[in-house]
Amino acid sequence: MRIIEVSPSQGSTVGGEAVVISGAGFVEGASVTFGTRVAPEVEILNAETLRVLLPPGLPGAAPVVVSAPGEAPVTAEGLFSYVDQPPRVVMAIRPMLGTTAGGSPVTIVGTGFLAGARVTIGGQRATEVEVIDSTRITALTPAHDEGLVDVVVRNPGLPASILRGAFEYVPGPTIVEVSPGELLVSGGEEITIVGSGFEPGIAVTVNGLPATGVRVLSPQELTAVAPMGVLGPATVVVAIPGQPLAELKDAVVFRPAPPLPTAPEQGSVPVPMPGESSGQPPAETAPMPDASLTPAG
């Protein structure tokens, strides 16, 4: 027998993580120890690969020993070490549904998350992964075919934690574009949303406020009347009962309403006073007839 590699090369002192040992000549009945501790579970995948459950251990390097009936034990030094870190445990993902198109925001809840942790959902890398703290990670789902998939979190240099069948991909609406891209804060303007999966009964919100007059023109296009908003970018969300939400962050920007026209202040129109000129040329007047009287007779 021979040991070539131990993956991952580090594990928590708490134990309980899956470790894969690569080598040659592994046989049925093999046992594995890390330091002085025996691995509680050993699975022989083939003559070159063992998968074991890591036992608890002390911080630092630990020799890995593989033994088997009728075979001389083999020892690998410097291929594995224990680190004093809590185990990674993925407890839940919220929401548990997402559209097959990907891009759904999710929060992963668990313990032992570290900065730089990677997330895969259904075997695909999630995007915009942010470790909020040791118990929460936010991310956007990748695209995937319909069905249940595993959620995996891997801290840098440490084993992965897997939550089997925790997330379900289902068909659902998507948003590609919203026009116009600028709206008045006063609301009341019609917007057009282009995407997919639109159907009657769909609801639209802009920054959390419901749009009115929603009309589905086709599965790829709908119109609605925007609500009032606040200055700045706004997120548009479409929702169909029983399906995942679809959202487009910063889809539109609210701008100030134009100022209303102002009327002249009362009394601001000048009125000419007697003896003053109005500024207009004087009107022509016909000569008055002579007012003198001629005596009769």
Residue 96's pLDDT band (boundaries 50, 70, 90)? confident
Architecture of domain 174-255: Sandwich (2.60)
Cis peptide before 8 (omega within 30 of 0): yes
Q: Would you state the pLDDT for residue 267?
A: 55
- List alpha helices for 21-101, DSSP H: none
**Most confidently predicted of 74-88, 137-151, 268-282:** 137-151
The lowest-confidence range among 18-22, 62-66, 154-158, 287-291 is 287-291
Superfamily of domain 2-83: Immunoglobulins (2.60.40.10)
Statement: residue 297 has pLDDT above 60: no
Dihedral (CA of 137, 141, 147, 150) sign: negative
Q: Which residues contact 200 (CB under 8 A, 6 or more apart)?
A: 216
pTM over 0.95: no
Residues of the chain with CATH 2.60.40.10: 2-83, 89-170, 174-255
Q: Which two tokens stand for residue 120?
A: 């895969």
Query: Hey, what CATH topology would domain 89-170 get?
Result: Immunoglobulin-like (2.60.40)
Residues 66 and 26 sit within 8 Å (Cβ to Cβ): yes
* Residues contacting 42, CB < 8 A, separation 6+: 30, 31, 32, 50, 51, 52, 53
User: What separation in angstroms does the CA of 127 have from each of 15, 43, 106, 198?
Assistant: 29, 33, 11, 25
Phi, psi at 126, each rounded to 5°: -75, 155
- Give the DSSP per-residue string, 155-191: -TTS-EEEEEEEEEEE---EEEEEESSEEETT---EE
The pLDDT of residue 291 is: 46
For the stretch 175-208, pLDDT in tens is: 999 999 999 999 999 999 999 889 899 999 999 9
* Run of H or E residues at 184: strand 182-184
To 5 degrees, how large is the angle CA 215–CA 218–CA 224?
25
Q: What is the mean pLDDT of residues 82-97?
A: 78
The pLDDT score that the predictor gives to residue 85 is 66
